[in-house]
């Protein structure tokens, strides 16, 4: 795999999770932002993973990455234990309580990009500290398109560093509560306006089961979520969306309003599959034909006739 050109680099956390939802409880399953984002982006593009795991990381999980044809040259293995997280989801599957967070080897993570990753045209900075995101940016050689994610923790404790990174990327993605907290504005269009003023060309606000909104200086695009009646585990849905988005955008090659909207559709579709099972279990069996079938159904759901109501 080392000879194949990497189109997209994903940098993020890799974890071992214990999760309880209203459906089931599962222990020591594969998680982390990089896991979900790489698995979904690999449906479309050759992706290189940058992250760190401990000596306890199961070989089966590394083999699962290989199943997705993820390039692992950027995966570091350190003495110690892998990042671990445990949480319980409430009945609505949106709200959750974190029971424990053990950073372990992630606490000392220093991302180092293999030389061939540095020339990749697309980069996704998944949810890690802005200081680490900056380290990665400093190692890249003029990428065509950079997207980043963040969370409340970094907004609260590393705001200045976070704003600095935001000013260097093309797209900022975050959920609606994070958009409000970072911008200081409640109404999302005004919040997006404040965030765009920080420097990115696009702001993509994720709204969970209510879809997503894309803002630029000149346009707003609103996309619903694909409706589901089977949600097993919502963990990683946002990362799965971002991976599907970035992977399909990298495959399209060009970045403009049309390709970004198309990539959002694919991001929403692959995320809808990801939540149908725990961890990467549903993604492991997913095919491009499955994705296209659901994407076409999704487009049909959103078809709006152009006829005018008579005066």
**Annotated domain spans of the chain:** 8-301
Q: How confident is the model at residue 209 (pLDDT cuts 50, 70, 90)?
A: confident
* Residues 6 or more apart whose Cβ sits within 8 Å of residue 244: 40, 41, 43, 44, 263, 266, 267, 268, 269, 270, 271
Angle at which helices 159-166 and 130-139 pack, to 10 degrees?
30
CATH architecture of 8-301: 3-Layer(aba) Sandwich (3.40)
Half-sphere exposure of 97 (CA within 13 A, CB side): 6
pTM (predicted TM-score): 0.94
pLDDT higher than threshold 90 for residue 198:
yes
pLDDT in tens, 256-307: 999 999 999 999 999 999 999 999 999 999 999 999 999 999 999 988 888 7
């Amino acid at each position: 795999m080392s000879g194949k050109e990497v189109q997209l680099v994903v940098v993020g956390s890799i974890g071992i999770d214990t999760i309880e939802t209203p459906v089931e409880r599962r222990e020591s399953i594969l998680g982390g932002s990089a896991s979900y984002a790489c698995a979904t982006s690999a449906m479309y593009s050759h992706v290189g993973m940058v992250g760190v795991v401990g000596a306890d990381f199961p070989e089966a999980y590394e083999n699962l990455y290989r199943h997705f044809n993820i390039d692992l040259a950027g995966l570091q293995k350190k003495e110690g234990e892998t990042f671990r997280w445990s949480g319980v989801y409430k009945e609505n599957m949106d709200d959750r309580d974190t029971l424990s967070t053990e950073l372990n080897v992630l606490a000392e993570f220093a991302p180092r990009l293999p030389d061939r990753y540095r020339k990749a045209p697309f980069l996704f900075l998944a949810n890690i500290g802005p200081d680490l995101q900056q380290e990665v940016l400093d190692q890249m050689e003029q990428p065509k398109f950079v997207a980043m994610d963040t969370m409340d923790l970094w907004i609260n404790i590393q705001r200045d560093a976070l704003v600095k990174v935001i000013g260097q990327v093309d797209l900022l993605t975050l959920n609606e509560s994070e958009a409000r907290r970072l911008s200081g504005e409640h109404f999302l269009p005004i919040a997006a306006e404040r965030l765009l003023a920080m420097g990115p060309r696009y702001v993509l606000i994720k709204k969970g089961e209510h879809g997503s909104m894309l803002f630029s200086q000149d346009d707003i695009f609103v996309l619903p979520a694909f409706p589901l009646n089977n949600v097993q585990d919502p963990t990683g849905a946002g990362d799965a969306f971002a991976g599907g988005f970035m992977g399909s955008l990298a495959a399209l090659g060009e970045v403009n309003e049309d390709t970004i909207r198309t990539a959002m559709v694919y991001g929403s579709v692959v995320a809808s599959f990801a939540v149908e099972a725990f961890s990467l279990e549903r993604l492991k069996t997913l095919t491009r034909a499955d994705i296209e079938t659901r994407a076409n159904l999704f487009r049909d759901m959103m078809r709006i006739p152009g006829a005018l109501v008579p005066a």
